[in-house]
Amino acid sequence: MAHLDGFDAHDVDPNVGFDPIPVGKYLAIITASEMKPTKAGTGEYLELELEVIEGPYKGRKLWDRLTLKHPNETTVQIAKGTLSSICRSVNVMKPRDSVELHNLPLIASVGCKKREDNGEPTNYIRGYSKRDAPPARPTAAAANGAGGTPPWKR
């Protein structure tokens, strides 16, 4: 048992479940980054945490993983291409540390797919671009989950 001295649920808003956000383009910033070993231990990936900074999904978190060290050169080239897109989007062409990419607005193109482990829908980042134009906002129907056939069922 744990003593919960002084906790009163009346004083705290309850957490709600987080369904994936609708497919679309969102103004976001990278808020955290860390190099981590791959599950097999044969490489490393850069894990990025992003936060949507405007619109109805402001404050929502998204994650991306860029496998920058791996025996499969194609995997590395794809990750380097994504990193190049991020760098160009925030105008930091030669970062020495991933922290240089933090807190700079960019457009994250967000998709939705089924998770392999449990079949539940989850967001993923399809790409990045500069903040030249405001991002497209999801329609009211998409925001309410009534956007027709989910992309993973098409």
Q: What is the CATH number of the domain that holds 106?
A: 2.40.50
Cα separation, 43 vs 72, in Å, equals 9
- The number of distinct structural domains making up the chain is 1
pTM of the model: 0.76
Cα separation, 135 vs 1, in Å, equals 48
Q: Is the residue at 37 inside a domain?
A: yes
Q: Is the residue at 29 inside a domain?
A: yes
Average pLDDT of the segment spanning 36-45: 95
CA torsion sign, 101 to 102 to 107 to 111?
Answer: positive
The pLDDT tens digits of the residues spanning 102-150 come to 999 999 999 999 999 999 999 999 999 999 755 555 555 455 444 444 4
Q: In the predicted model, is pLDDT for residue 26 greater than 90?
A: yes
Q: Is the residue at 12 inside a domain?
A: no
Q: Is the residue at 2 inside a domain?
A: no
Q: Is the residue at 3 inside a domain?
A: no
* Domain extent at residue 26: 20-132
More confident: 36 or 152: 36
